[in-house]
Amino acid sequence: MQSISSAQLLVVAAALLVLAAGIFWILKSHKREQDKTQARLQEIQDKLKEIENNKAN
């Protein structure tokens, strides 16, 4: 059975770290877009309430 060298372990660890960082970046980016969308939706809802209030008066 072939033994794994410490250099090979270091390469695997580095690759896993890069993969984890990529996943984290994607999730963070998705959350930022979701927050922007939620803020825009809230603006639209506020504007609709304002229009409804103007019609009622």
| Dihedrals phi, psi of 42, to nearest 5 degrees | -65, -40
**What digits encode the pLDDT tens for the residues 1-57?**
678 899 999 999 999 999 999 999 999 999 999 999 999 999 999 999 999 999 887
Q: With a threshold of 0.85, does the pTM exceed it?
A: no
Quote the pLDDT of residue 2.
77
The residue among 17, 40, 16 whose CA lies nearest residue 32 is: 40
Report the C-alpha gap between 4 and 28 in whole angstroms: 35
The upper half-sphere exposure of residue 28, i.e. CA atoms within 13 Å in the direction of its Cβ, equals: 6
